[in-house]
Structure formats: C-alpha cells, structure tokens
Amino acid sequence: MKMKVVVLALLALALSASLHADQMPVVTATPILSTKTTASGQPIDVPVHPEVVVSRLEIAPHGAIPMHEHPYPRYAYVLSGTLEITVPGGTVYRYKTGDFIAEVINQWHIGRNAGDTPVHLLVIDQVVPGHSNTVYRSEGSANAPGEG
C-alpha cells in the first residue's frame, strides 16, 4: 500500500512537471458575501442535518411575492433584474444582478420586482427535511411591512 502511494505521488509530480506554467488551469474565486447574519441582522441558525433545496424563481416585471416568511435559512442570488424586499417597519432592501441575499427568518416581508424586466433568482433553502420554507400570511393576521 505504501509503495502504491509513493508511485502515485511520483507519477503526479512527473505529470505536473511536464506542464508549462501557461498550460496550468487558472481558477479565480471572487467573494460575493460572507455573513453570519440575515439582511436584517438576525443570526443564521441552520437546522441539524438540513435538507438543501435549490430552486429558480422568476418574478414578472412589477410583480410581487405576497406577504410571507421563512422559518428556516434562505439564500438568494440575483441572476437578473432588481428585487426589493420590504420588512416590518417599512425598511426596504434593494438587490440587483449579482447580489447575494441572506433572507430574513421568521419576519413577514414582501418581495417585489422593481423593474421592467423579469427578476430571476437562484434560491437555496436549508430546511428540516420534508418541510417548506415559505409560509404565506393569511388575511387578518399580523401587520404588513410598513404598518408597524
């Protein structure tokens, strides 16, 4: 076993030495976001052994996602368009193409397309397996964002 490891290491070394610097693959990593909190400053608590669910959402021009909340962490990458999120108290967060969002948890909010082109989002949820991460508010429940 030890001999196989040595042989493999020598083979890898020989192969890498035969490549010229201009033949080496180039990888660039550009940080987009590093955070321990949501957009509104809440700590991000991930469920134990979460299920990761990835979705693509499209919001039509000037369309909106009705009043809702997320019981578990949700992250969104804005692929295109401009998204506005309104949270309790009327605070509005605005996100454009290339932005990454750590969404608010257990806070009612509205997502709205603030532009003339569709908003496309790549959404990543970390949920208790088998649970949904979007709860829509029923009529007559808590105040809407901006209503106090």
Q: How many CB atoms lie within 10 A of CB 81?
A: 21
Q: Which two tokens stand for residue 141?
A: 């429940």
Domain assignments of the chain as residue spans, ordered by start: 51-136
- Which pLDDT score, from 0 to 100, does residue 25 have? 78
What is each CA distance from 117 to 111, 126, 127, in whole angstroms? 15, 29, 30
Residue 21 Cα distances to 13, 16, 17, 18, 24, angstroms: 14, 10, 9, 10, 5
- What are the CA-CA distances from residue 70 to residues 10, 27, 43, 105, 117 (Å)? 52, 35, 14, 5, 26
| pLDDT at residue number 66 | 95
> Is 32 buried (19+), middle (13-18) or exposed (0-12) by CB count in 10 A?
exposed
**DSSP 8-class letter at 41:** S
pLDDT, residue 14, reads 55
Q: What number of other Cβ atoms are within 10 A of residue 43's Cβ?
A: 8
Per-residue tokens: 126? 């970390």
pTM of the model: 0.76
Q: pLDDT tens per residue, the chain (148 residues)?
A: 555 544 445 445 555 655 565 677 799 999 999 999 999 999 999 999 999 999 999 999 999 999 999 999 999 999 999 999 999 899 999 999 999 999 999 999 999 999 999 999 999 999 999 999 999 998 655 444 544 3
**Whole-angstrom distance, CA of residue 145 vs CA of residue 62:** 18
Indicate the class that CATH gives domain 51-136.
mainly beta
The whole-angstrom separation of Cα 7 and Cα 34 is: 40
- The rounded distance, in Å, linking the Cα atoms of 106 and 38 is 11
